[in-house]
Structure 1
Amino acid sequence: MLTLYSFGPGANSLKPLLALYEKGLEFTPRFVDPTRFEHHEDWFKKINPRGQVPALDHDGHIITESTVICEYLEDAFPEAPRLRPVDPVNIAEMRVWTKWVDEYFCWCVSTIGWERMIGPMARALSDEEFEAKVARIPVPEQRTKWRTARAGFPKDVLAEEMRKIGVSVNRLEMRLAESPWLAGDEFTLADVCNFAIANGMQNGFSDIVNREATPHLVAWIEKINDRPACKTMFAHSKSEFADRGRKVTA
Protein backbone atom coordinates (compact mmCIF):
# COMPACT_ATOMS: atom_id res chain seq x y z
CA MET A 1 0.00 0.00 0.00
CA LEU A 2 1.25 3.45 -0.95
CA THR A 3 0.38 6.67 0.85
CA LEU A 4 1.86 10.00 -0.21
CA TYR A 5 1.88 12.91 2.24
CA SER A 6 2.31 16.18 0.39
CA PHE A 7 1.32 19.81 -0.05
CA GLY A 8 -0.40 18.86 -3.29
CA PRO A 9 0.68 19.44 -6.90
CA GLY A 10 3.30 22.14 -6.52
CA ALA A 11 7.07 22.45 -6.05
CA ASN A 12 8.78 19.43 -4.48
CA SER A 13 5.49 17.75 -3.57
CA LEU A 14 4.56 17.64 -7.25
CA LYS A 15 7.54 15.43 -8.16
CA PRO A 16 6.41 12.13 -6.59
CA LEU A 17 2.75 13.02 -7.07
CA LEU A 18 3.16 13.29 -10.83
CA ALA A 19 5.46 10.25 -10.89
CA LEU A 20 2.75 8.16 -9.22
CA TYR A 21 0.15 9.22 -11.77
CA GLU A 22 2.54 8.74 -14.71
CA LYS A 23 3.34 5.23 -13.50
CA GLY A 24 -0.34 4.44 -12.99
CA LEU A 25 0.14 3.29 -9.40
CA GLU A 26 -2.71 3.06 -6.93
CA PHE A 27 -2.06 5.20 -3.88
CA THR A 28 -3.72 7.18 -1.12
CA PRO A 29 -3.03 10.93 -1.28
CA ARG A 30 -2.83 12.71 2.07
CA PHE A 31 -2.86 16.47 1.82
CA VAL A 32 -0.82 18.17 4.54
CA ASP A 33 -2.04 21.75 4.91
CA PRO A 34 0.90 24.18 5.08
CA THR A 35 -1.36 27.11 6.02
CA ARG A 36 -2.25 25.22 9.20
CA PHE A 37 1.37 24.15 9.73
CA GLU A 38 0.27 20.51 9.77
CA HIS A 39 3.73 19.32 8.73
CA HIS A 40 5.01 20.53 12.11
CA GLU A 41 2.34 18.77 14.14
CA ASP A 42 3.28 15.76 16.25
CA TRP A 43 1.25 13.29 14.17
CA PHE A 44 3.21 14.17 11.04
CA LYS A 45 6.59 14.34 12.78
CA LYS A 46 6.03 10.70 13.73
CA ILE A 47 6.03 10.01 9.98
CA ASN A 48 8.93 12.32 9.13
CA PRO A 49 10.80 13.64 12.18
CA ARG A 50 12.14 16.51 10.06
CA GLY A 51 8.61 17.81 9.57
CA GLN A 52 8.96 18.08 5.80
CA VAL A 53 6.95 16.88 2.83
CA PRO A 54 6.72 14.92 0.66
CA ALA A 55 6.89 11.61 2.48
CA LEU A 56 5.94 8.24 1.04
CA ASP A 57 4.67 5.37 3.18
CA HIS A 58 5.11 2.06 1.36
CA ASP A 59 3.80 -0.77 3.52
CA GLY A 60 5.13 0.94 6.64
CA HIS A 61 8.47 1.95 5.16
CA ILE A 62 8.86 5.74 5.07
CA ILE A 63 10.75 7.26 2.15
CA THR A 64 11.54 10.98 2.20
CA GLU A 65 13.13 13.57 -0.12
CA SER A 66 11.19 14.22 -3.31
CA THR A 67 13.71 13.04 -5.92
CA VAL A 68 14.66 10.02 -3.81
CA ILE A 69 10.98 9.05 -3.68
CA CYS A 70 10.78 9.27 -7.48
CA GLU A 71 13.82 7.01 -7.90
CA TYR A 72 12.43 4.64 -5.26
CA LEU A 73 9.23 4.24 -7.27
CA GLU A 74 11.33 3.26 -10.30
CA ASP A 75 13.13 0.59 -8.27
CA ALA A 76 10.09 -0.69 -6.38
CA PHE A 77 7.77 -0.85 -9.40
CA PRO A 78 9.88 -1.75 -12.44
CA GLU A 79 6.86 -3.26 -14.18
CA ALA A 80 5.05 0.11 -14.24
CA PRO A 81 5.67 2.61 -17.06
CA ARG A 82 9.28 3.76 -16.84
CA LEU A 83 10.33 7.30 -15.98
CA ARG A 84 14.02 6.39 -15.96
CA PRO A 85 15.88 5.50 -19.17
CA VAL A 86 17.40 2.08 -19.75
CA ASP A 87 20.68 3.21 -21.29
CA PRO A 88 23.30 4.11 -18.62
CA VAL A 89 24.37 7.23 -20.52
CA ASN A 90 20.80 8.50 -20.61
CA ILE A 91 20.34 7.64 -16.94
CA ALA A 92 23.40 9.76 -16.15
CA GLU A 93 22.00 12.63 -18.23
CA MET A 94 18.69 12.37 -16.38
CA ARG A 95 20.46 12.50 -13.02
CA VAL A 96 22.49 15.53 -14.02
CA TRP A 97 19.18 17.35 -14.44
CA THR A 98 17.58 16.02 -11.24
CA LYS A 99 20.73 16.91 -9.29
CA TRP A 100 20.78 20.39 -10.80
CA VAL A 101 17.16 21.15 -9.95
CA ASP A 102 17.66 19.96 -6.36
CA GLU A 103 20.89 21.85 -5.77
CA TYR A 104 20.42 25.04 -7.81
CA PHE A 105 17.16 25.74 -9.64
CA CYS A 106 14.81 24.81 -6.80
CA TRP A 107 16.63 26.89 -4.20
CA CYS A 108 16.61 30.22 -6.02
CA VAL A 109 12.93 29.90 -6.96
CA SER A 110 12.14 28.79 -3.41
CA THR A 111 13.71 31.90 -1.86
CA ILE A 112 11.56 34.18 -4.00
CA GLY A 113 8.52 32.06 -3.15
CA TRP A 114 9.26 32.38 0.54
CA GLU A 115 9.60 36.14 0.18
CA ARG A 116 6.32 36.45 -1.71
CA MET A 117 4.16 33.92 0.16
CA ILE A 118 5.67 32.69 3.42
CA GLY A 119 6.76 36.15 4.57
CA PRO A 120 3.24 37.64 4.50
CA MET A 121 1.87 34.48 6.16
CA ALA A 122 4.41 34.78 8.98
CA ARG A 123 3.84 38.52 9.43
CA ALA A 124 0.09 37.95 9.74
CA LEU A 125 0.73 36.08 13.00
CA SER A 126 1.16 37.82 16.32
CA ASP A 127 4.59 37.54 17.93
CA GLU A 128 3.23 34.97 20.36
CA GLU A 129 1.58 32.91 17.62
CA PHE A 130 4.68 33.03 15.46
CA GLU A 131 7.02 31.90 18.25
CA ALA A 132 4.68 29.03 19.08
CA LYS A 133 4.71 27.89 15.44
CA VAL A 134 8.49 28.21 15.12
CA ALA A 135 9.07 26.26 18.33
CA ARG A 136 7.46 23.21 16.70
CA ILE A 137 9.81 23.22 13.69
CA PRO A 138 12.32 20.38 14.22
CA VAL A 139 15.02 21.57 11.80
CA PRO A 140 17.08 24.54 13.10
CA GLU A 141 17.81 25.84 9.60
CA GLN A 142 14.09 25.96 8.87
CA ARG A 143 13.44 27.93 12.04
CA THR A 144 16.03 30.46 10.87
CA LYS A 145 14.45 30.59 7.42
CA TRP A 146 11.02 31.32 8.90
CA ARG A 147 12.46 34.18 10.95
CA THR A 148 14.24 35.57 7.90
CA ALA A 149 11.06 35.36 5.82
CA ARG A 150 9.10 37.19 8.50
CA ALA A 151 11.67 39.97 8.63
CA GLY A 152 12.05 40.01 4.85
CA PHE A 153 15.00 38.67 2.88
CA PRO A 154 17.81 41.22 2.28
CA LYS A 155 17.58 42.94 -1.10
CA ASP A 156 21.01 41.71 -2.17
CA VAL A 157 19.97 38.12 -1.46
CA LEU A 158 16.80 38.51 -3.52
CA ALA A 159 18.76 40.11 -6.37
CA GLU A 160 21.23 37.22 -6.42
CA GLU A 161 18.44 34.65 -6.40
CA MET A 162 16.74 36.42 -9.31
CA ARG A 163 20.05 36.31 -11.19
CA LYS A 164 20.21 32.54 -10.58
CA ILE A 165 16.64 32.16 -11.79
CA GLY A 166 17.66 33.91 -15.00
CA VAL A 167 20.58 31.50 -15.40
CA SER A 168 18.24 28.56 -14.78
CA VAL A 169 15.64 29.73 -17.27
CA ASN A 170 18.32 30.25 -19.91
CA ARG A 171 19.74 26.77 -19.34
CA LEU A 172 16.32 25.15 -19.70
CA GLU A 173 15.49 27.17 -22.82
CA MET A 174 18.79 26.29 -24.49
CA ARG A 175 18.40 22.58 -23.76
CA LEU A 176 14.78 22.42 -24.89
CA ALA A 177 15.66 24.23 -28.11
CA GLU A 178 17.74 21.20 -29.09
CA SER A 179 15.85 18.32 -27.45
CA PRO A 180 12.16 17.46 -26.96
CA TRP A 181 12.83 16.41 -23.37
CA LEU A 182 15.60 17.31 -20.93
CA ALA A 183 17.36 13.93 -20.98
CA GLY A 184 16.82 13.20 -24.67
CA ASP A 185 13.97 11.70 -26.64
CA GLU A 186 12.10 10.24 -23.65
CA PHE A 187 9.98 11.88 -20.96
CA THR A 188 11.83 11.06 -17.73
CA LEU A 189 12.25 12.08 -14.11
CA ALA A 190 14.43 14.91 -15.41
CA ASP A 191 11.27 16.47 -16.83
CA VAL A 192 9.10 15.58 -13.84
CA CYS A 193 11.47 17.17 -11.33
CA ASN A 194 12.20 20.33 -13.31
CA PHE A 195 8.54 20.78 -14.27
CA ALA A 196 7.70 20.76 -10.55
CA ILE A 197 9.66 23.99 -10.18
CA ALA A 198 9.13 25.55 -13.62
CA ASN A 199 5.37 25.09 -13.89
CA GLY A 200 3.67 28.43 -13.35
CA MET A 201 6.78 30.53 -13.97
CA GLN A 202 5.07 31.96 -17.04
CA ASN A 203 2.75 33.61 -14.51
CA GLY A 204 4.98 34.29 -11.51
CA PHE A 205 8.04 35.24 -13.56
CA SER A 206 6.36 36.36 -16.77
CA ASP A 207 9.00 39.00 -17.47
CA ILE A 208 11.57 36.28 -18.22
CA VAL A 209 9.40 33.23 -18.98
CA ASN A 210 7.08 33.97 -21.89
CA ARG A 211 6.45 32.95 -25.50
CA GLU A 212 8.76 35.61 -26.89
CA ALA A 213 11.77 35.16 -24.59
CA THR A 214 11.52 31.42 -23.89
CA PRO A 215 9.29 29.76 -26.51
CA HIS A 216 10.76 26.28 -26.03
CA LEU A 217 10.45 26.37 -22.24
CA VAL A 218 6.84 27.56 -22.40
CA ALA A 219 6.00 24.90 -25.00
CA TRP A 220 7.58 22.21 -22.77
CA ILE A 221 5.57 23.38 -19.74
CA GLU A 222 2.37 23.30 -21.79
CA LYS A 223 3.24 19.89 -23.26
CA ILE A 224 3.61 18.37 -19.80
CA ASN A 225 0.41 20.01 -18.59
CA ASP A 226 -1.35 18.36 -21.53
CA ARG A 227 -0.18 14.86 -20.60
CA PRO A 228 -3.09 12.68 -19.39
CA ALA A 229 -1.35 11.86 -16.10
CA CYS A 230 -0.73 15.53 -15.36
CA LYS A 231 -4.34 16.45 -16.12
CA THR A 232 -5.54 13.64 -13.86
CA MET A 233 -3.17 14.73 -11.10
CA PHE A 234 -4.48 18.29 -11.06
CA ALA A 235 -8.10 17.16 -11.36
CA HIS A 236 -7.83 14.71 -8.45
CA SER A 237 -5.73 17.01 -6.30
CA LYS A 238 -8.49 19.62 -6.19
CA SER A 239 -10.54 17.28 -3.99
CA GLU A 240 -7.70 16.33 -1.67
CA PHE A 241 -8.50 19.34 0.52
CA ALA A 242 -11.98 17.99 1.16
CA ASP A 243 -11.23 14.28 1.18
CA ARG A 244 -7.64 13.70 2.19
CA GLY A 245 -7.94 9.96 2.65
CA ARG A 246 -9.58 9.09 -0.67
CA LYS A 247 -7.85 6.28 -2.55
CA VAL A 248 -7.39 6.88 -6.25
CA THR A 249 -6.27 4.82 -9.19
CA ALA A 250 -4.32 6.76 -11.77
Structure 2
Amino acid sequence: MTLAMYLHPLSSYVQKAKTGFYEKGVPFEAKMLDGSEPVASEFGALWPIGKFPVVVDNGQLVFEATGIIEYLEAKYPDTPRLIPASPAAAAEVRMWDRFFDNYVNYPQQRIVYLAIGREPADGQDGARWKDEFDKAYALLDKRMEGREWAAADQFSLADCAAAPALLYADWTYAIPRQFKHLWAYRDRLLARPSYARALDEARPYRHMFPLGAPEGRD
Protein backbone atom coordinates (compact mmCIF):
# COMPACT_ATOMS: atom_id res chain seq x y z
CA MET A 1 0.00 0.00 0.00
CA THR A 2 1.37 3.44 -0.98
CA LEU A 3 2.09 5.87 1.81
CA ALA A 4 -0.09 9.01 1.91
CA MET A 5 1.37 12.43 2.74
CA TYR A 6 -0.83 15.35 3.78
CA LEU A 7 0.91 18.42 2.43
CA HIS A 8 1.06 21.76 0.74
CA PRO A 9 3.97 22.04 -1.73
CA LEU A 10 5.01 25.55 -0.62
CA SER A 11 5.82 24.42 2.93
CA SER A 12 9.53 24.17 3.68
CA TYR A 13 8.95 21.12 5.88
CA VAL A 14 6.91 19.43 3.16
CA GLN A 15 9.78 20.05 0.73
CA LYS A 16 12.19 18.57 3.27
CA ALA A 17 10.11 15.40 3.59
CA LYS A 18 9.56 15.14 -0.17
CA THR A 19 13.29 15.38 -0.76
CA GLY A 20 13.73 12.36 1.50
CA PHE A 21 11.10 10.40 -0.43
CA TYR A 22 12.62 11.31 -3.78
CA GLU A 23 16.17 10.51 -2.70
CA LYS A 24 15.06 7.08 -1.55
CA GLY A 25 12.71 6.43 -4.48
CA VAL A 26 9.76 5.67 -2.19
CA PRO A 27 6.37 6.43 -3.80
CA PHE A 28 3.64 8.29 -1.94
CA GLU A 29 0.16 9.64 -2.54
CA ALA A 30 -0.07 13.43 -2.13
CA LYS A 31 -3.08 14.60 -0.11
CA MET A 32 -3.27 18.29 -0.95
CA LEU A 33 -4.16 20.60 1.93
CA ASP A 34 -5.58 23.63 0.15
CA GLY A 35 -8.69 23.99 2.31
CA SER A 36 -10.88 21.84 0.10
CA GLU A 37 -13.04 19.01 1.35
CA PRO A 38 -12.93 16.13 2.13
CA VAL A 39 -9.14 16.13 2.62
CA ALA A 40 -9.22 19.04 5.09
CA SER A 41 -11.74 17.29 7.35
CA GLU A 42 -9.91 14.00 6.98
CA PHE A 43 -6.65 15.65 8.04
CA GLY A 44 -8.27 17.49 10.95
CA ALA A 45 -9.70 14.27 12.34
CA LEU A 46 -6.42 12.44 11.83
CA TRP A 47 -4.10 15.08 13.28
CA PRO A 48 -5.80 17.79 15.40
CA ILE A 49 -2.44 19.54 15.87
CA GLY A 50 -2.90 20.73 12.29
CA LYS A 51 0.78 20.97 11.31
CA PHE A 52 2.00 19.26 8.15
CA PRO A 53 3.53 17.20 6.64
CA VAL A 54 1.99 14.08 8.11
CA VAL A 55 2.34 10.61 6.61
CA VAL A 56 -0.02 7.67 7.01
CA ASP A 57 1.30 4.20 6.28
CA ASN A 58 -1.32 1.47 6.58
CA GLY A 59 -2.83 3.17 9.62
CA GLN A 60 0.51 4.23 11.13
CA LEU A 61 0.68 8.01 11.70
CA VAL A 62 4.08 9.63 11.22
CA PHE A 63 4.49 13.36 11.86
CA GLU A 64 7.18 16.05 11.50
CA ALA A 65 9.53 16.07 8.51
CA THR A 66 12.49 14.72 10.49
CA GLY A 67 10.33 11.94 11.93
CA ILE A 68 9.08 11.05 8.46
CA ILE A 69 12.61 10.70 7.06
CA GLU A 70 13.66 8.68 10.11
CA TYR A 71 10.67 6.41 9.48
CA LEU A 72 11.64 5.97 5.82
CA GLU A 73 15.16 5.01 6.91
CA ALA A 74 13.79 2.32 9.22
CA LYS A 75 11.15 0.99 6.83
CA TYR A 76 13.22 1.03 3.62
CA PRO A 77 16.76 0.07 4.68
CA ASP A 78 17.77 -1.02 1.18
CA THR A 79 17.23 2.45 -0.32
CA PRO A 80 19.94 5.16 -0.31
CA ARG A 81 20.70 6.11 3.27
CA LEU A 82 20.02 9.61 4.55
CA ILE A 83 21.25 8.77 8.05
CA PRO A 84 24.59 6.94 8.16
CA ALA A 85 24.92 3.55 9.80
CA SER A 86 27.82 4.78 11.90
CA PRO A 87 26.43 6.09 15.23
CA ALA A 88 28.92 8.96 15.33
CA ALA A 89 28.16 10.01 11.74
CA ALA A 90 24.43 9.65 12.38
CA ALA A 91 24.72 11.93 15.41
CA GLU A 92 26.49 14.54 13.27
CA VAL A 93 23.75 14.39 10.64
CA ARG A 94 20.98 14.71 13.22
CA MET A 95 22.77 17.63 14.88
CA TRP A 96 22.96 19.59 11.64
CA ASP A 97 19.38 18.70 10.77
CA ARG A 98 18.37 20.44 13.99
CA PHE A 99 20.64 23.38 13.15
CA PHE A 100 18.80 24.10 9.91
CA ASP A 101 15.37 23.70 11.46
CA ASN A 102 16.11 25.69 14.62
CA TYR A 103 18.61 28.35 13.52
CA VAL A 104 17.65 28.97 9.88
CA ASN A 105 14.03 27.91 9.41
CA TYR A 106 12.83 29.23 12.76
CA PRO A 107 14.06 32.85 12.41
CA GLN A 108 12.86 32.85 8.80
CA GLN A 109 9.35 31.98 9.92
CA ARG A 110 9.42 34.60 12.70
CA ILE A 111 10.22 37.35 10.17
CA VAL A 112 7.40 36.20 7.92
CA TYR A 113 5.00 36.07 10.86
CA LEU A 114 5.98 39.61 11.83
CA ALA A 115 5.30 40.78 8.29
CA ILE A 116 1.82 39.25 8.15
CA GLY A 117 0.81 40.11 11.70
CA ARG A 118 0.86 36.60 13.15
CA GLU A 119 3.47 37.70 15.69
CA PRO A 120 3.36 40.95 17.73
CA ALA A 121 5.42 43.76 16.20
CA ASP A 122 8.76 44.16 17.92
CA GLY A 123 9.30 47.78 16.85
CA GLN A 124 12.69 46.85 15.40
CA ASP A 125 11.73 45.30 12.07
CA GLY A 126 12.73 41.84 13.24
CA ALA A 127 16.23 42.89 14.27
CA ARG A 128 16.51 39.98 16.72
CA TRP A 129 15.85 37.41 14.01
CA LYS A 130 18.08 39.15 11.47
CA ASP A 131 20.91 38.99 14.00
CA GLU A 132 20.27 35.25 14.31
CA PHE A 133 20.52 34.98 10.52
CA ASP A 134 23.80 36.91 10.48
CA LYS A 135 25.32 34.46 12.95
CA ALA A 136 23.95 31.38 11.15
CA TYR A 137 25.13 32.56 7.73
CA ALA A 138 28.66 33.29 8.95
CA LEU A 139 28.87 29.95 10.75
CA LEU A 140 27.59 28.02 7.73
CA ASP A 141 29.99 29.76 5.36
CA LYS A 142 32.90 28.55 7.49
CA ARG A 143 31.34 25.12 7.86
CA MET A 144 30.92 24.61 4.12
CA GLU A 145 34.44 25.61 3.09
CA GLY A 146 35.89 22.48 1.53
CA ARG A 147 32.69 20.47 2.02
CA GLU A 148 30.15 19.25 -0.50
CA TRP A 149 27.36 18.41 1.97
CA ALA A 150 26.56 19.50 5.51
CA ALA A 151 27.58 16.40 7.46
CA ALA A 152 29.12 12.94 7.31
CA ASP A 153 30.56 13.40 3.79
CA GLN A 154 27.29 12.44 2.09
CA PHE A 155 23.91 13.86 1.11
CA SER A 156 21.80 13.30 4.19
CA LEU A 157 18.86 14.26 6.34
CA ALA A 158 20.76 17.45 7.17
CA ASP A 159 20.80 18.48 3.50
CA CYS A 160 17.10 17.65 3.14
CA ALA A 161 16.55 20.22 5.90
CA ALA A 162 19.06 22.72 4.52
CA ALA A 163 17.64 22.98 0.99
CA PRO A 164 14.25 24.58 1.73
CA ALA A 165 15.60 26.38 4.80
CA LEU A 166 18.25 28.21 2.77
CA LEU A 167 15.89 28.83 -0.15
CA TYR A 168 13.38 30.68 2.00
CA ALA A 169 16.01 32.25 4.25
CA ASP A 170 17.55 34.02 1.27
CA TRP A 171 14.12 35.14 0.10
CA THR A 172 13.44 36.56 3.57
CA TYR A 173 16.82 38.04 4.55
CA ALA A 174 19.26 37.81 1.67
CA ILE A 175 22.42 35.77 2.14
CA PRO A 176 25.34 38.19 1.63
CA ARG A 177 27.30 37.43 -1.52
CA GLN A 178 30.54 37.50 0.49
CA PHE A 179 29.58 34.07 1.86
CA LYS A 180 30.75 32.27 -1.24
CA HIS A 181 30.97 28.82 0.37
CA LEU A 182 27.40 29.07 1.64
CA TRP A 183 26.20 30.27 -1.75
CA ALA A 184 27.93 27.39 -3.51
CA TYR A 185 26.28 24.96 -1.08
CA ARG A 186 22.86 26.53 -1.65
CA ASP A 187 23.38 26.21 -5.41
CA ARG A 188 24.26 22.51 -5.06
CA LEU A 189 21.16 21.92 -2.96
CA LEU A 190 18.86 23.60 -5.48
CA ALA A 191 20.43 21.54 -8.28
CA ARG A 192 20.04 18.22 -6.45
CA PRO A 193 17.43 16.30 -8.50
CA SER A 194 15.40 15.28 -5.43
CA TYR A 195 15.08 18.82 -4.12
CA ALA A 196 14.73 20.34 -7.59
CA ARG A 197 11.68 18.13 -8.08
CA ALA A 198 10.12 19.27 -4.79
CA LEU A 199 10.89 22.87 -5.69
CA ASP A 200 9.35 22.55 -9.15
CA GLU A 201 6.18 21.19 -7.58
CA ALA A 202 5.98 24.32 -5.42
CA ARG A 203 6.42 26.80 -8.29
CA PRO A 204 2.70 27.19 -9.08
CA TYR A 205 2.16 28.38 -5.49
CA ARG A 206 5.11 30.69 -4.94
CA HIS A 207 2.94 33.77 -5.45
CA MET A 208 1.53 32.83 -2.03
CA PHE A 209 4.87 33.49 -0.28
CA PRO A 210 4.02 36.50 1.91
CA LEU A 211 7.20 38.49 1.24
CA GLY A 212 7.24 37.79 -2.49
CA ALA A 213 9.47 35.35 -4.34
CA PRO A 214 12.50 37.23 -5.73
CA GLU A 215 13.50 36.70 -9.32
CA GLY A 216 16.61 34.68 -10.09
CA ARG A 217 17.17 33.24 -6.60
CA ASP A 218 15.36 29.93 -6.92
Q: TM-score, normalised by structure 2?
A: 0.83
Task: Note the alpha carbon deviations across 1:21-76, whole angstroms, 9 max, x for none.
Answer: 1111111112212xx498x9543211211011110111121111111111111111
Q: Is the 8 A contact 2:23 2:80 kept in 1?
A: yes
Distance of 1:60 and 1:30 partners within structure 2: 15
After TM superposition, list the pairs within 5 Å mapping 1:104-119 onto structure 2.
104-116=103-115, 118-119=116-117
AA matched with 2:52: V
* Structure 2: tracts of 5 or more residues without a match: 206-218
Q: Is the 8 A contact 1:83 1:189 kept in 2?
A: yes
Q: Give 3-state SS (helix, strand or coil) of 1:179's partner.
A: coil
Q: Give 3-state SS (helix, strand or coil) of 1:83's partner.
A: coil
Task: Note the alpha carbon deviations across 1:110-160, whole angstroms, 9 max, x for none.
Answer: 1012223x43xxxxxxxxxxxxxxxxxxxxxxxxxx4x3xxx521248211
Work out whether 1:184 is the aligned partner of 2:152.
yes
Shift of 1:230: 2.2
Distance of 1:64 and 1:181 partners within structure 2: 25
Q: Is the 8 A contact 1:3 1:58 kept in 2?
A: yes
Compare CA radii of gyration and give the structure with the larger one: 1
More relative contact order in 1 or in 2 (CA 8 Å, sep 6+)? 1
After TM superposition, list the pairs within 5 Å mapping 1:83-162 onto structure 2.
83-116=82-115, 118-119=116-117, 146=118, 148=119, 152-156=120-124, 158-162=126-130
- Aligned residues with identical type, % of pairs: 26
Q: Is the 8 A contact 2:7 2:54 kept in 1?
A: yes
* Structure 1: tracts of 5 or more residues without a match: 120-145, 241-250
Q: Is the 8 A contact 1:4 1:17 kept in 2?
A: no
Aligned residues between the structures? 203
Shift of 1:109: 1.1
CA RMSD of aligned residues (A): 2.4
Q: 1:141 — aligned with what?
A: none
AA matched with 2:6: Y
Work out whether 1:232 is the aligned partner of 2:197.
yes
AA matched with 1:164: E
Distance of 1:157 and 1:239 partners within structure 2: 29
AA matched with 1:30: K
Distance of 1:10 and 1:22 partners within structure 2: 18
Q: TM-score, normalised by structure 1?
A: 0.73
Q: Is the 8 A contact 1:9 1:233 kept in 2?
A: no
Using a 3 Å threshold, how does the CA distance of structure 1 residues 157 and 62 change in structure 2: closer, same or farther?
Answer: farther
AA matched with 1:180: E
Work out whether 1:31 is the aligned partner of 2:32.
yes
Using a 3 Å threshold, how does the CA distance of structure 1 residues 202 and 157 change in structure 2: closer, same or farther?
Answer: closer
Distance of 1:204 and 1:93 partners within structure 2: 27
Distance of 2:23 and 2:164 partners within structure 1: 14
Q: Give 3-state SS (helix, strand or coil) of 1:84's partner.
A: coil
Using a 3 Å threshold, how does the CA distance of structure 1 residues 222 and 59 change in structure 2: closer, same or farther?
Answer: same
AA matched with 2:111: I
Shift of 1:2: 0.7
Q: Give 3-state SS (helix, strand or coil) of 1:29's partner.
A: strand
